[in-house]
A and B are shown apart, each in its own frame.
Chain A
Amino acid sequence: MIAAPTNSPDAARLVTPTMLVLWLVLATVPLWIARIGLYPYLGIEILIWSLYALAFNLVLGTAGLPSFGHGAYFGIGAYAFGLCQFDLVANLWICLAAASVIAGLAGAFVALFISHRRGIYYAFMTIAFGQIFWTLAIKSHRITGGEDGLLKIARLPANFGFVSFDLTDNVAFYYFVLAMFAIGVAGLWRLVNSPYGRIVAAIRQSETRAAHLGYNVWLYKASVFTLSAAISGFAGGLFAMAQLAAFPDVMSLHQSGYVVMMTLVGGGLVSFWGPVIGVFVFLTARDVIGALTNAWMLYFGLLFIAIVLFRPEGIAGAISAMLQQHSLSALRARGNSAMRLLLGGGR
């Protein structure tokens, strides 16, 4: 596996310059997105899926565990949000907490069965559990509404006690999602760069070595999976609000495959920001190419094949390679001119 632990000074920060710039750029999106022919809802989708992909990458990129049924936890979060709203209490914070707790519990349950497995067996166990949850969602008509989905989920107002925001408008909801995204990104960045995150990354490199150093590998694998499921569930809760409904299709194998694709196309294996880049490219391509042709998955599939073959470290990897090459050639130019000065030039 490609491993590139970065030891930049940013690792110790809560908020890095990259995050600040990204948040500022994202905050201006509703001002111009309609002008370039797109719509604010796309921005909401990109933010929610980015949070989901970042949570997924905790398992795939940081821990190196192939989880191919992650859509289940995203979907469970969406259903939990809706059901909490209908049957318990219609409070935004409680419902979002319910989404992540229920998804986290589902993740913890699955982790019990899979955390002592590796490689292809781990991968297929996650697929099997994903399919089990998906089938349950489709067949339990009375709870989830079956294939029709759980409809009429409301965008609850964000109540801070002294002030309450109405989120029914897409732009208002966009800013709410952006705030949640910002908190999620900062939290995940801290997590990945914490001692805990370092140990999880060490397990990715060698389970045996980490175990010999005295770390409880099983516990780390199980906990990172649970955490990832909980954050995916949180994103799922937001997605239920965005769609005003919860559907089983996000739990299907196809959609679980898409999040793997997005993460890898973006470069989740080498960069923290990889999943975000991947989601942005995937969803924008879906809308832009999808407007031109029905077979956009064909072109995206070809792009995906090309990336796996020629740039397996993804777009983030390609960008950093390009930047390095750029600085390298700049260095070389500088070195050459210095040489020429020393040798008296011209010859």
Chain B
Amino acid sequence: MFDLLPHLLNGLTLGLLFALIALGFMLIVGLMEQINLAHGSLFALGAYVAMQMMGSRPPLPAEMAKAWLALPLGWRYAATLVIAPIVVSFVGMLIEFCMRRTYGKDPLYGLLLTFGAAMVIEELIRLVWGTRDYVLQVPQAVSGGFLFGELIWSTYRFYAAGIAAAIIGLVWLLIEKTSFGATVKAGAHDSEIVRALGINLSRLRLLVFVFGTILAALAGIIVAPIWGIRPHMGVDAVIPAFLVIVLGGVGSFWGAVAAGLLVGLCVGLSGAYASEWSLLSMYILLVAVVTFRARGLWGKKSVLEA
């Protein structure tokens, strides 16, 4: 049993990261009934913007760049965590503006639109940053490793898992315990009544999409030091995110979180026995579940299955 412990822990931290990656995707699917395939590209964009800000040549005028670089690394990292997602959220806004034409139509159109957007963003990333790999600098306090039970553990993995858990909790609070969350959920449930109550629905949808974008970019920054930064990272992220949502079931918050953990454990444990095939395990898990359960583990009825 103790031999398995490292793999279990590894799977658990991986699972929290999967849940974090799926979080923004889930909000947009659950609250807008739109599949945002550009989620992965926004995730990648977050990582790239953060890398640019943390690098030695930030895209600022000379004076400001000097002042910025004079800040300690920890402060710069904290500021990046806030600023980079906001920068990326403008791209999300642009996508939402285009997406408005597809509301009320077959959800296939939203999916295709965001597929096109994903392609465009990925190509733009290749144009601006090239195809090489980058590394995101993180403060000393969270990098390196520590010894525990005769094994070396990466500090950053635990930091990332902790942040992921914190963000998941905060998002849950925002949706379940605030009036903003109530309005948004009502908008997803019955948009006509919400509009009749005098709430600006298109602003509400914009806000939800921007919120989803910010979460995607944030996930990108958190995950980047583990996965590395390269143009393909968007696709590597959107597929597990999509998978986690389908496995957990559309419209279920804790379903998605549980599915994320399940996928992480599955990948982590199968990695212990057959590392070559560990990525396959999550697809087999999905097939095994969705073959028998129509809406994933805890899914609700939605227009996405019409």
Contacts and interface: CB of A to CB of B under 8 A. Distances in A.
Bound pair (A, B): yes
Interface of A: 1, 66, 113, 116-121, 124-125, 127-129, 131-132, 135-136, 139, 253-254, 257, 260-261, 264, 295, 297-298, 300-302, 304-305, 308-309, 312
B174 interface: no
Interface of B: 35, 98, 101-102, 105-109, 112-113, 115-117, 119-120, 122-124, 126-127, 235, 239, 242-243, 246, 250, 276-277, 279-280, 283-284, 286-287, 290-291, 294-296, 302, 304-306
Nearest to A125: B290
A1 B286 CA distance: 27
Contact of A309 (B113, B280, B294): B113
Given A295-B126, A305-B116, A312-B105, 8 more contacts: A131-B239, A135-B279, A254-B235, A295-B123, A300-B119, A301-B117, A302-B116, A305-B117
A208 B279 CA distance: 37
14 contacts: A1-B108, A116-B294, A118-B305, A121-B294, A124-B243, A124-B290, A125-B290, A128-B283, A128-B287, A139-B277, A298-B127, A304-B115, A305-B116, A308-B116
Q: Which 8 A-B pairs have the closest CB atoms?
A: A119-B305, A301-B119, A298-B123, A305-B116, A301-B120, A120-B304, A304-B116, A128-B283
Nearest to B113: A308
B15 to A, nearest CB: 18
Q: Which of B120, B126, B277, B296 has the most CB of A within 10 A?
A: B120
B287 A113 contact: yes
The majority secondary structure among interface residues of chain A is helix
A261 B115 CA distance: 9
A302 B305 contact: no
B277 A135 contact: yes
A121 B123 contact: no
A117 B294 contact: yes
Contacts of A301: 116-117, 119-120, 123
A302 B113 CA distance: 10
Given A139-B276, A308-B109, A309-B101, A117 B120 contact: no
A301 B116 CA distance: 5
Nearest to B120: A301
